[in-house]
Amino acid sequence: MVKRPQPQLSRRLALQSLASGFGYLAFAELAHDQAARGQNPSGQGLAIKPTHFPARARRVIFLCMNGGPSHVDLFDYKPKLSDKEGQKTAVSVLRGNAALLGSPFQFKRHGESGQWFSELLPNLAAHADDICFLKSMHTDLPNHAQAFIQMHTGRFQFTRPSVGAWSLYGLGTENENLPGFVTLNPPSDNGGAQNYGSAFLPAICQATKIGTNQIPGFYAALLGVDKEPGPPLKNIENSLFTTRMQRKQLDLIRELNEHKLSQDVYHPEIEGAIESFELAFRMQDEVPELLDVSSETQQTLSAYGVGPGKPTDLFGRQCLLARRMVEAGVRFVEVTSPAKWDHHFLL
């Protein structure tokens, strides 16, 4: 009998093998639980999930204005600021800044709630009792980029899931043929994709971006283009393959990805790719009609400010698309203003 030399097992290799074994057992248990619940074992699944208590809101439209008129001139009434107009503060004396300036606009109470609105918001004031104002917000970040990230993720030092990703992860989606989280016209600066990313959550929870504001303005000017021209969502239709051929192609890609996933045990990027390919295939039927607002009446288009040459056309079109998306079952839609608005001068 020939004795075959056995390779020595180092402590590091033993620990690695042992850890992989536990990881495989955990993955097998997770896959079994998901299969029992009817979920896709390759991902977390985006089916509607039960909540701890009945939710009053089913969907969210987040209007990210990226700057705007001062809250002091809109709905945050500061009578003492007007009383002390012209006076210096300790900070203004040290920095040599100008004196205090109260709002030049008139304020009145509206609705049963008695909410203050300035004369700049006569239409919004009519809905005073349907709006919740949070006036306790504050920030310790003076810079736009960090504050923008913190507003979307709750942190600016570390990569964290965005508010839309958390919403989708916790509640699931109502339409499996559409993304559960969509961002319209997202800016490429101030954190870029981090503002609508999923971080450590499953990759399928990150937003699908739709819009033309995908490259920085200075680079677009250098190239002589208007941001990124073209349709709001490119390659929505496959002109090379029929639906049946696409299905076979996706089945092959999925098989290869799942084989790789079985070797790595846990790989969120591959899980996200599997889900994204399947979602893109299903989106072909619903997205083109969803993005086509030509079926809307002229009265609706006018109400949203949509029309050639109107300064409100881009933002109004995004708001209209957001409404159509939530009506179709999209869980979370973020609308971004087309331009920044910052009060540094010319007040």
Note the pLDDT tens digit of each residue in 201-254. 888 888 888 875 444 454 445 545 455 444 455 555 666 667 777 777 777 877
pLDDT at position 27 is 42
Note the pLDDT tens digit of each residue in 152-204. 998 888 889 999 999 988 888 888 888 889 998 887 778 888 888 889 888 88
Average pLDDT, the chain: 76
pLDDT at position 30 is 42
Q: 224: left (phi > 0), else alpha (psi -120 to 50), else beta?
A: left
Length of the chain: 347
- Of 236, 206, 218, 211, the C-alpha closest to 332 is 206
Whether the Cβ atoms of residue 30 and residue 43 lie closer than 8 Å to each other: no
- pLDDT above 80: residue 125: yes
List, edge to edge, every strand of the sheet that includes 332-336: 60-64, 332-336, 181-184, 208-210
Give the pLDDT mean for 5-14. 54
Whether the Cβ atoms of residue 305 and residue 315 lie closer than 8 Å to each other: yes
- Of 285, 296, 290, the C-alpha closest to 329 is 290
- pLDDT above 90: residue 100: no
User: Within 10 Å of residue 91's Cβ, how many Cβ atoms?
Assistant: 8
**Cα separation, 256 vs 237, whole angstroms:** 24
Cα first-last separation, the chain: 95
Specify the 3-state DSSP secondary structure of 51.
coil
User: Read out DSSP for 156-177?
Assistant: SSS----HHHHHHHHH--S-TT
pLDDT at position 20 is 45
Q: Degrees (nearest 5) of the Cα angle 69, 70, 71? A: 115
pLDDT at position 24 is 43
- pLDDT above 70: residue 45: no
Say if strands 181-184 and 115-118 run parallel, antiparallel, or are unpaired: unpaired
Q: What is the CA radius of gyration of the chain?
A: 26
SS (H, E, C) 99-160: CCCCCCCCEEEECCCCEEEECCCHHHHCCHHHCCCCCCCCCCCCCHHHHHHHHHHCCCCCCC
**Cα separation, 191 vs 174, whole angstroms:** 29
Give the pLDDT mean for 295-321. 89
- Across 16-20, 61-65, 244-248, the highest mean pLDDT is recorded for 61-65
- pLDDT above 80: residue 282: no
User: Within 10 Å of residue 4's Cβ, how many Cβ atoms?
Assistant: 5
Whether the Cβ atoms of residue 296 and residue 330 lie closer than 8 Å to each other: no
Note the pLDDT tens digit of each residue in 132-150. 988 887 778 878 888 889 9
Whether the Cβ atoms of residue 204 and residue 44 lie closer than 8 Å to each other: yes
